[in-house]
Structure 1
Amino acid sequence: MFGDLSGMMDKLKDAQKKVEETKQRLNNVLIDESSSEGKIKVTVTANREIRAINIDNSLLSDAEELEDYLVLTLNKALKRAGEINEQEMAVAAKSGMPNIPGMDMFK
């Protein structure tokens, strides 16, 4: 009914291995983002982990402005990181999946 079940299990293990390798690789993919005026610069990984934040001294006297800049800039960076992460993980998962009729989830 399902053909070579052992072969499918091996392909699923390979897919899982590729996903794990992709997760590790995405730790090294860095996304840099800056605020519109360049007062905040952030670096995040494609796994959505913050690596660095640089703040212009002019923002240190106004906590509310600093918070606004941080939220906007971090959200932009994390959105880009999420998009890259999703694309890469989909490719990794699809490349190792066995061909099971009716289970084409990655169209």
Structure 2
Amino acid sequence: MLDKLMAAQQQAEEIKKRLDTISVFGEVEGGAIRITATANKAVTAIDIDEEFYKQADKEELEELLLTAINKALSQADLVSAAEMQAATKNMFGGLGGMFGQ
């Protein structure tokens, strides 16, 4: 049992490292604002089109930044969940027959 627990912990660390290498994106206004983050929800870049920036007011810019960041973090959630689901399936896939699945 302890071996399985340690293997699960090691696999979780491997997934976390892998998620750090996966980039996700959030865009608004047709790409005028683009947020890049890792699948571990660390924002790594913010790109704002210069022409858009010159024309946008502060309130609009703040609102659109929030929307783009939330889109990127939502994508990170999806990728992370898919990675965890795949890992869980691989780890416990053989147990499905025990539970009638």
TM-score, scaled relative to structure 1: 0.75
CA distance in 2, matches of 1:63, 1:51: 22
Higher relative contact order by CA 8 Å / sep ≥ 6: 1 or 2? 1
Provide the identity percentage: 38
- Say if 2:20 is the partner of 1:27: yes
- Say if 2:82 is the partner of 1:82: no
Q: CA deviation at 1:94?
A: 4.6
Residue of 2, 7, 11 corresponding to 1:14: 7
Partner of 1:95: 90
Residue of 35, 44, 47 corresponding to 1:42: 35
Q: CA deviation at 1:42?
A: 0.9
CA distance in 1, matches of 2:86, 2:4: 15
Q: Is the 8 A contact 1:32 1:44 kept in 2?
A: yes
Query: Which is helix-richer, 1 or 2?
Result: 2
Unaligned 5+ runs, structure 2: none
Q: CA deviation at 1:38?
A: 1.6
Unaligned 5+ runs, structure 1: 1-7
CA RMSD, aligned part only?
A: 2.4
Partner of 1:59: 53
Secondary structure of 1:37 counterpart:
helix
Structure 1 or 2, whichever has the larger Rg, is 1
Secondary structure of 2:30 counterpart:
coil
How many residues of Structure 1 are paired with residues of Structure 2 in the alignment? 97
Q: Is the 8 A contact 2:25 2:75 kept in 1?
A: no
